[in-house]
Amino acid sequence: MGVPTTQAGPQGVTFVSAEAGTWESIGERSAHFTAVQLLSDANGVFTGTVTIDAYQTVSEDGQTFVSDERSSVTIRDAQNNVIDVIRGGPPAIGTRMAVGAPGFPEPSPATASPAP
C-alpha cells in the first residue's frame, strides 16, 4: 500500500511515515486491518500519529477489496490526545498488483493520453 508522504490536516501540513500494521481474518473473505503512521513537521519533530482501522471484504476472485462503514481514521497529537476521528465517507478500494500488472484500470478513450 502506498500513501502520500505529506498531508494537510488539523495540525497543518505534516510529513507521514510508511504504515506499520497488522490484520486478521474475520470471515471467509473479510479482514480487520489496523495500521499506524507517524507524523512529523518540516523540522522532523514528532507531531502525532494516524491510525487506520479498516474492515475489508475481498472479491470472490481475490483481486480487489473494499472497506465498509465500520472503518475509521484516528488522528492523535504528540501527547496521544485524539484530535479527530473520521468515519464514513467513500470506501477504500484496493486492487491486487502482480509482476507486469500494477493494478491500474484500463484508461477510457476520453482520458487516454496521446501516444508520444
Q: What is the 3-state secondary structure (H, E, C) of 15-62?
A: EECCCEEEEEEEECCEEEEEEEEEEECCCCCEEEEEEEEEEEEECCCC
User: How much is the pTM?
Assistant: 0.73
Average pLDDT, the chain: 85
Residue 16 scores a pLDDT above 70:
yes
Q: Would 62 be classed as within a structural domain?
A: yes
**Residue 107: band (very low, low, confident or very high) from pLDDT cuts 50, 70, 90:** confident
Q: Would 115 be classed as within a structural domain?
A: no
Q: Would 108 be classed as within a structural domain?
A: no
Tens of pLDDT, residues 31-85: 999 999 999 988 889 999 999 999 999 999 988 899 988 999 999 999 999 999 9
pLDDT for the residue 114:
61
Domain that holds residue 15: 6-95
Q: Would 11 be classed as within a structural domain?
A: yes
Q: Would 53 be classed as within a structural domain?
A: yes
Number of domains in the chain: 1
